[in-house]
C-alpha cells in the first residue's frame, strides 16, 4: 500500500488509484507550479508532472516516500528544467546580440550595436540571477505586480521581496555599467 496524504492506495497505480492521486494532488501541485512559473507555464508544468507520473508510475517506490512527495519532486525537476531552458535562451540571445557588432553602417549601425551590447549585458545579468530573483524581476516588470502580490506569488515575505528586487536590479545595473565602461575604454584606445 502507498500513502497519499492519509489514505493508502495500491502500489500498482491502476487508473482508479492514479485518479485518486490526481484528484487529491492536482490543486496543491498547480498552486506550487504557478507560483514558481506564472499561470501559463505553471499549468503546463503541472500537467506535464502528472503525465510523467503516469508514464513512469512503475518507477515509484513506496519505501522511499509518499506519492505526494514523488509528484512534487517531478514538478520541481520540471521547474528546474524550465529555468535552465530560460537561462540557455537568455545566454543565446546575449551571444547573438554580441555578434551584431560587425555591422559597418554609420551612426544607425553604431546605435544598433550599442543597443545589442546593452541587451546582451542585460540578458547575461538575468541569466546569472538566482531563479527566484529573476522571477521577481520578470513579474514586477511584465505583470506590474505589487510587492505584496510578488510576496504572495513567490511565498516569501514582503521585506524579502524588496531586498531581493533591490539586489537583483543592482546586479543588472552593475552589469550594464561594466559593459558601458568596457565600451568606453575600448573606444578611447
3-state secondary structure of 106: helix
Residues in contact with 36: Cβ distance below 8 Å, sequence separation at least 6, in sequence order: 42, 79, 135, 154
Q: Encode pLDDT of 159-169 as tens digits.
A: 999 999 999 99
The vertex-42 CA angle with 170 and 58, nearest 5°, equals: 125
Q: Encode pLDDT of 136-157 as tens digits.
A: 887 787 667 789 877 877 788 9
Q: Would you say how long the chain is, in residues?
A: 189
Q: Is the pTM of this model over 0.75?
A: no
CA distances from 49 to 17, 29, 74, 104 (A): 16, 9, 6, 49
**What confidence category does residue 70 fall into, taking pLDDT thresholds of 50, 70 and 90?**
confident
Query: What are the cell numbers at 85?
Result: 531552458
pLDDT higher than threshold 60 for residue 3: no
Q: Encode pLDDT of 14-50 as tens digits.
A: 788 888 888 999 999 999 899 888 899 999 999 999 9
Q: Encode pLDDT of 85-107 as tens digits.
A: 888 888 887 777 666 554 444 55
Q: How far apart are CA 93 and CA 113, in angstroms?
A: 14
Amino acid at each position: 500500500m502507498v500513502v497519499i496524504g492519509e489514505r493508502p492506495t495500491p502500489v500498482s497505480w491502476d487508473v482508479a488509484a492514479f485518479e485518486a492521486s490526481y484528484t487529491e494532488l492536482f490543486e496543491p501541485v498547480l498552486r506550487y507550479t504557478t507560483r514558481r512559473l506564472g499561470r501559463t507555464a505553471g499549468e503546463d508544468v503541472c500537467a506535464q508532472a502528472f503525465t510523467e507520473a503516469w508514464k513512469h508510475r512503475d518507477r515509484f517506490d513506496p519505501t522511499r516516500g509518499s506519492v505526494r512527495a514523488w509528484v512534487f519532486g517531478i514538478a520541481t525537476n520540471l521547474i528546474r528544467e524550465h529555468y535552465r531552458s530560460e537561462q540557455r535562451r537568455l545566454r543565446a540571445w546575449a551571444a547573438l546580440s554580441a555578434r551584431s557588432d560587425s555591422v559597418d553602417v554609420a551612426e544607425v549601425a553604431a546605435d544598433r550595436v550599442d543597443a545589442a551590447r546593452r541587451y546582451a549585458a542585460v540578458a547575461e545579468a538575468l541569466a546569472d540571477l538566482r531563479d527566484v530573483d529573476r522571477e521577481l524581476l520578470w513579474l514586477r516588470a511584465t505583470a506590474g505586480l505589487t510587492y505584496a502580490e510578488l510576496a504572495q506569488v513567490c511565498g516569501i515575505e514582503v521585506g524579502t521581496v524588496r531586498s531581493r528586487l533591490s539586489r537583483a536590479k543592482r546586479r543588472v545595473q552593475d552589469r550594464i555599467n561594466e559593459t558601458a565602461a568596457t565600451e568606453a575604454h575600448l573606444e578611447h584606445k
